[in-house]
Amino acid sequence: KAGVTQTPRYLIKTRGQQVTLSCSPISGHRSVSWYQQTPGQGLQFLFEYFSETQRNKGNFPGRFSGRQFSNSRSEMNVSTLELGDSALYLCASSDRLAGGSSTDTQYFGPGTRLTVL
Amino acid sequence: AQSVAQPEDQVNVAEGNPLTVKCTYSVSGNPYLFWYVQYPNRGLQFLLKYITGDNLVKGSYGFEAEFNKSQTSFHLKKPSALVSDSALYFCAVRDIGSGAGSYQLTFGKGTKLSVIP
């Protein structure tokens, strides 16, 4: 199976702009999670989507949002970009079941490197 | 709240020697524990996980990890290190006591492993 794909791989934006990142999960996976990775804060959970519904959200401001489509592809959006939003944004998919089995492994994509100038 | 500590920012080991990357965790319930590896400019690659059962878990590329409940540790090990093992290693935990809806992974800060030829 093809792995998790993320587009674009690199992005440069200026402060105040907004950005949309895309993630295509492994075929058959219905759960998509997003993480932000920075040198200072490490890996931090943003949110998780399952069957087009947000199931869990991390401690990020409302400028960070996401959605999931019926084909399980997911997008995340960051509005009014700040310098501190520069990071590697990682998407992970898993074959979580509707009952919410927590044993499922999350498989990560290569990430989108966002630079805010 | 769940947390993970990786006490060493960097571990240096000679090629052919055994390696250990340390991880301790804190959860309110029972933990699911994971190890991931990250190569430069890449996403996270799954190595192994502990869910239940045997305390010694075997994973990809000859890695294994030992779960110790009394010490709340989940150290990553490999009998003979390779130069190609040089990378950033992350330990992660999911607290299943938070319920099936809690799918969030909490990561440690990461340990940079350098294998010296």
Q: Does B104 touch chain A (CB under 8 A)?
A: yes
Mean pLDDT score of chain B: 91
Q: Look at residue B11 and tell me whether its pLDDT is greater than 90.
A: yes
Q: Is the peptide bond before A61 cis (omega within 30 degrees of 0)?
A: no
Quick one: which H or E segment has residue B93? Answer: strand B87-95
List the 1-60 stretch of A: residues with Cβ below 8 A of B.
4, 6, 31, 33, 35, 42-43, 45, 48, 50, 55-56, 58
Give the integer Cα–Cα distance in Å for A22 and A11.
Answer: 12
Residue B42 has a pLDDT of 84
Q: Does A107 touch chain B (CB under 8 A)?
A: yes
Give the mean model confidence (pLDDT) for residues A48-71: 93
Interface contact flag, B46 A105, Cβ < 8 Å: yes
Q: Look at residue A100 and tell me whether its pLDDT is greater than 60.
A: no
CA angle, A59 as apex, B91 and B35 as ends, to 5°? 10
Q: Look at residue A95 and tell me whether its pLDDT is greater than 90.
A: no
| Percentage above 90 pLDDT, chain B | 76
Residue with tokens 């105040």: A16
Give the integer Cα–Cα distance in Å for A39 and A68.
Answer: 28
Handedness of CA A71, A96, A109, B59 (dihedral sign): negative
Q: Look at residue A107 and tell me whether its pLDDT is greater than 70.
A: yes
Considering only residues A38 and B40, tell me which one the structure prediction assigns the higher pLDDT: A38
Residue to mutate among B45, B49, B95, B103, with most A CBs inside 10 A, is B103
CB within 8 Å of B94: residues ≥ 6 apart: A102, B2, B31, B32, B34, B102, B103, B104, B105, B106
Chain A hits for B42, CB-CB cut-off 8 Å, are 110-111
